[in-house]
Amino acid sequence: MREPDRGCDVALRLIEAHVPESAEAITEQVLRDVGGAEVWSQPGGAYGSVVKAILGAERTGTALDELHEAISPGHSLRVLVTSLDAVLPRPAAGGPVERRGDRPDAEAVSREEVYAAISGAAAPKRTYLVLIVLSTTVAAIGLTNDNTAAVIGAMVVAPLLGPNLALSLGLTLGDRPLIVRSFLSSSLGLAVALLTAVLLSPLIDVDPQVSEIESRTRVKLSDMVLAFAAGCAGTLGYTTGAPTGVVGVMVAVALLPPAVASGLLAGAGLWREAFGALLLALANVAALNLAAMATLTLSGIRPRHWWKEEQARRSARLGLLVFSILTLVLVGIVLVSQGFFG
């Protein structure tokens, strides 16, 4: 039996560029230069000609940048990107991508794909709030009964990855509407989780000595490292086209249990313990967003148009500064509470 070609074992995209007939040749050349395994043209489309190519997902960002630079200044251009579940026969892997200037890393999907994937989770929809209530209910039962399996089940349901990454993406791009929507969605999700837990507390026995609750009342460096790793992993999942389901569970583990524990403890009148759990949740939010913004910046995610780059730089610097200060302050609290300074 013939061994499969491991060199082609990557996600594929179909690039469909609508251009005038006069720009057909240069469009074909650009798509070949960026590693298009197959490139072909046909008449029609929005402007007279359609040029298509099959590319690895990691090359689409470079392809869109090169097409925009080569075609847009003098010709009309519309580009559609479609995920391909299967291609037969499997195309050979494209050659090395020729980089021009300070392009983003060629192993990242396009900023348009990243934006479309993340920004859709920014608005607080009804399903989002329902899932927050349901996951909070399951987590509350798991925490109070010291049932780790139930807590993990709640993490699978909780939709907390998208709004936090959308906030980081908005700050990185300087996209104010996205910042506002994602901040409201994240804040509303946290508030709904807290309120739901407070309302559930009279119905269940809240014992602060139960290990699943007690472990969430103290901020530990290991918890912040988990949140930081989850932020990096979630962002890389979106920017490289990798699956993000498991990473979403990581983010939920970092954010939902301490928020639910805080609400339960507050509802039971245990304010000191509730504050410790809330502090842990906020520390994890800061670490997660700091990691996500750093990863987006290092991945080369930036506005396409040059006149928006200065606004994006200011927004990214402010976001990184705020989350860095919050993380450092909370790390300081952890070190003091653990007696690292005498």
- The Cα-based distances of 116 to 78, 119, 162, 202 in angstroms read 16, 6, 11, 42
Q: Does a cis peptide bond (omega within 30 degrees of 0) precede residue 89?
A: yes
Structural domains of the chain, with CATH: 6-107 (3.30.70.120), 112-337 (no CATH)
Res 30: pLDDT: 87
Res 266: pLDDT: 92
Residue-wise pLDDT for 265-311, tens only, equals 999 888 888 888 888 888 888 888 888 888 888 877 777 655 567 78
Backbone dihedral region for residue 241 (phi beyond 0: left; psi -120 to 50: alpha; all else: beta): left
Res 193: pLDDT: 92
Backbone dihedral region for residue 48 (phi beyond 0: left; psi -120 to 50: alpha; all else: beta): left
Question: At what angle are helices 176-200 and 126-144 packed, to 10 degrees?
Answer: 40
- The rounded radius of gyration (Å) of the Cα atoms in the chain is 23
Res 101: pLDDT: 40
According to DSSP, residue 18 is labeled E
> Whole-model pTM?
0.71
Nearest alpha-carbon partner for 319 in 184, 115, 124, 173: 173
35: Cβ–Cβ under 8 A, 6 or more apart, which residues?
55, 56, 59, 94, 95, 96, 97
Find tokens 């837990």 and name the residue: 197
Res 250: pLDDT: 64
Residue-wise pLDDT for 96-108, tens only, equals 444 444 444 444 5
Q: Which residues of 173-205 are buried (b: 16+ CB within 10 A; e: fewer)?
A: bbbeebbebbbebbeebbebbbbbbbebbeebe
According to DSSP, residue 340 is labeled T
Q: Is 68 exposed, middle or buried (0-12, 13-18, 19+ CB in 10 A)?
A: middle
- Please state, in angstroms and rounded to a whole number, the distance separating the CA atoms of residues 190 and 226: 19
- The Cα-based distances of 24 to 18, 42, 135 in angstroms read 9, 9, 52
Res 66: pLDDT: 81
171: Cβ–Cβ under 8 A, 6 or more apart, which residues?
179, 293, 315, 316, 318, 319
Low-confidence ranges of the chain (pLDDT < 50): 1-9, 96-107, 341-342
